[in-house]
């Protein structure tokens, strides 16, 4: 059985080698730390093909929509066939403890950022929206009932766009024509970038530290 786990403010290495939980796949949403995470995932036995790293910052101009489909596809592919049977939000059994929930899952996909408050919850919400064809508000409420999260204003708006475009931001397979809602988002983002003298293509941080 697979679990899709967000990160929290805990030691990442302890998560990866937790005795009752095998983190078999990893989605990293960070501005750098690529080498650091690669070292830990190798030690924990997570091979590079099972580790998807998206370089991104928790900023007012970061575009996560451009990556959402690929990340959701990665989760679906790595968790198949376990998540293929997921058709509704899981119902927590009464009196079930955290240890029991962790022990019930033999493998997991860890989705992490730096604090587990904004970037990683945004991706988890986006994935569940697409997987279950549900609205942002319902998924947000569900995830907030599990842990303290606070997606930024920018990412909250992107989740609204994600819902408006039907969980696919492009009109064409070549990804050259954005759907109207995504195009409008990109135009607003472009204005913000130009005000700051940026293009949006500036490196966030070195890929190796």
Q: Are 170 and 183 in contact (CB under 8 A)?
A: no
The answer to whether residue 93 sits within a structural domain is no
The answer to whether residue 183 sits within a structural domain is yes
In this structure, what are the phi and psi dihedrals at residue 41, rounded to the nearest 5 degrees? Answer: -70, -35
The answer to whether residue 201 sits within a structural domain is no
53: three-class secondary structure by DSSP: strand
CATH of the domain at 63: 3.90.190.10
pLDDT for residue 7: 52
Its domain, for residue 182, covers: 12-87+105-194
**Below-70 pLDDT ranges, the chain:** 1-21, 33-45, 81-82, 92-107, 205-209
pLDDT for residue 208: 45
Picking from 143, 116, 146, 122, the residue whose alpha carbon sits closest to that of residue 9 is: 116
What token pair was written down for 47? 């091979």
Question: Which residues in 20-163 belong to E strands, given as ranges?
Answer: 22-30, 51-55, 107-112
pLDDT for residue 110: 86
The answer to whether residue 68 sits within a structural domain is yes
Model pTM greater than 0.85? no
What token pair was written down for 108? 């997991």
Query: In this structure, what DSSP letter does residue 175 have?
Result: S
Give pairs for 85-94: CB < 8 Å, separation 24+.
86/131, 86/132, 87/132, 88/132, 89/128, 89/132, 89/134, 89/138, 89/139, 89/142
Distance CA 57, CA 75 (A): 21
Distance CA 29, CA 172 (A): 26
- In tens, the pLDDT along 30-59 reads 887 655 566 666 666 678 888 898 999 999
Our count of domains for the chain comes to 1
The answer to whether residue 78 sits within a structural domain is yes
The answer to whether residue 200 sits within a structural domain is no
């Amino acid at each position: 059985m697979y679990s899709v786990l967000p990160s929290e403010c805990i030691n990442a290495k302890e998560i990866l080698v937790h005795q009752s939980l095998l983190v078999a796949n990893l989605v990293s949403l960070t501005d750098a730390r690529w080498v650091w995470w690669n070292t830990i995932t190798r030690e924990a036995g997570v091979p590079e093909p099972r580790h998807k790293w998206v370089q991104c910052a928790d900023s007012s101009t970061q575009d996560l929509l451009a990556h959402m489909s690929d990340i959701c596809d990665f989760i679906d592919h790595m968790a198949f066939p376990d998540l293929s049977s997921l058709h509704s939000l899981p119902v927590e059994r009464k009196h079930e403890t955290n240890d029991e929930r962790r022990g019930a899952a033999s493998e997991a996909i860890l989705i992490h950022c730096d604090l587990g408050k904004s970037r990683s919850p945004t991706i988890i919400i986006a994935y569940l929206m697409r997987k279950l064809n549900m609205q942002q508000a319902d998924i947000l409420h569900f995830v907030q009932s599990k842990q303290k999260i606070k997606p930024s204003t920018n990412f909250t708006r992107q989740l609204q766009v994600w819902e408006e475009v039907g969980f696919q931001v492009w009109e064409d397979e070549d990804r050259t024509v954005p759907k109207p809602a995504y195009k409008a988002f990109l135009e607003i983002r472009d204005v913000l970038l130009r005000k700051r003298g940026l293009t949006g293509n500036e490196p966030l941080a070195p890929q190796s530290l």
